[in-house]
Amino acid sequence: MSQNNTFHRFLDDAILKRRLTGKQFAELTSYSAGQVSKMRSGKRKTDKLMRVTVSRILKDVRLSMVSASADYHIPTFMFDATSRKDVFTTSNDQRREERERQDLEESYNEAVRVPKSQRTEAQCQAISKYLRNYMEEYTSEETDWLAKAEYAGLDDDQIFQMYDGFLKDYGVKE
């Protein structure tokens, strides 16, 4: 994971987006201003409880997604620090990922027909490449969804409520 793709980077972005100072954010949490400063700069590692707490307080979907990736190794959204995040770019990325996966599907289907113990190295690579591309397509779909929600004018709170509502309806219940 690159330095630009870490929880502290998204935390800092979420705090700045809401125009909060470190002190104001600290007052919303149980952390001191010094702890918040260290979290934002990446000098303090965050644990799961910290990530859940700040994600809920800020109601930031990207922060929640990064937390899910960090805590549960769940692929969430495609992040590329070098690319734009507008709805046109994310839609194009999503379509490109879908085409790439579809281009690999036939070789995947042929490879999985062969019993695992009899597969060649090329067949194993075809399976691995297809599944990797499928995951890239999945994460580009989530990235595109988020960009389209923002483009439609939904604010972070509305997006978070929609995301949270979906999880309440379709997520695993305890």
Which H or E run contains 42?
Answer: none
**Residue 122 in this model has a pLDDT that exceeds 70:** yes
More confident residue, 167 or 128: 128
Judge contact between 78 and 139, C-beta under 8 A: yes
pLDDT tens for residues 79-117?
A: 666 556 677 787 888 888 889 989 999 999 999 999 999
Locate tokens 């990736």: which residue?
69
More confident residue, 105 or 147: 105
Judge contact between 169 and 103, C-beta under 8 A: no
Give the global pTM: 0.67
Mean pLDDT (the chain) is 84
Q: At what angle do helices 33-41 and 7-17 cross, to 10 degrees?
A: 120
pLDDT number for residue 1: 37
Locate tokens 């972070």: which residue?
156
Other beta carbons within 10 Å of 156: 18
Instruction: Provide the b/e sequence for 33-64 (b: ≥16 CB within 10 Å).
Output: eebbbbbbeeeeebeeebbebbbeebbbbbbb
More confident residue, 89 or 5: 89
**Residue 13 in this model has a pLDDT that exceeds 60:** yes
**Residue 119 in this model has a pLDDT that exceeds 90:** yes
**Residue 150: which of 84, 106, 104 has the closest Cα?**
84
Q: What is the CA radius of gyration of the chain?
A: 19
